[in-house]
């Protein structure tokens, strides 16, 4: 299984451990550090906006604004094996589970 760290600058916000890959998404176990707690609400908001309410539609504009706040954090995904740092990705975090597209 592939291991990554989610980082903001040199601060590690959590670890991602690959569970399964179904192109284009990689599903991971997510273990947050205490440094992630200040950002958890941004991920919760973007995921809530992404999930379609029963019989409703996703408000794409609202979701894009919410994800722009996540993107503005300048997060990086750093592979544990030392391969190239990933800085262009889409990431959803729901408690101990994450979906990563890069």
* Res 80: pLDDT: 94
The CA–CA distances, whole Å, from 102 to 1, 7, 52, 80, 92 equal 17, 15, 23, 16, 12
Whole-number pLDDT of residue 54 = 77
pTM of the full predicted structure?
Answer: 0.91
Is the omega angle on the peptide bond into residue 24 within 30 degrees of 0, that is, cis?
yes
* Rounded mean pLDDT, 15-24: 96
pLDDT of residue 94: 97
pLDDT confidence of residue 81: 93
* pLDDT tens per residue across span 50-90: 987 777 888 999 999 999 999 999 999 999 999 999 999 99
């Amino acid at each position: 299984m592939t291991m990554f760290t989610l980082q903001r600058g040199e601060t590690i916000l959590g670890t991602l451990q690959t569970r399964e890959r179904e192109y284009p998404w990689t599903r991971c176990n997510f273990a947050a550090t205490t440094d992630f707690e200040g950002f958890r609400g941004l991920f919760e908001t973007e995921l809530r906006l992404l999930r379609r309410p029963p019989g409703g539609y996703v408000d794409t504009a609202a979701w894009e604004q919410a994800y722009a706040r996540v993107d503005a954090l300048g997060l990086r995904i750093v592979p544990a094996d030392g391969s190239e740092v990933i800085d262009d990705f889409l990431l959803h975090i729901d408690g101990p589970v994450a979906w990563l597209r890069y």
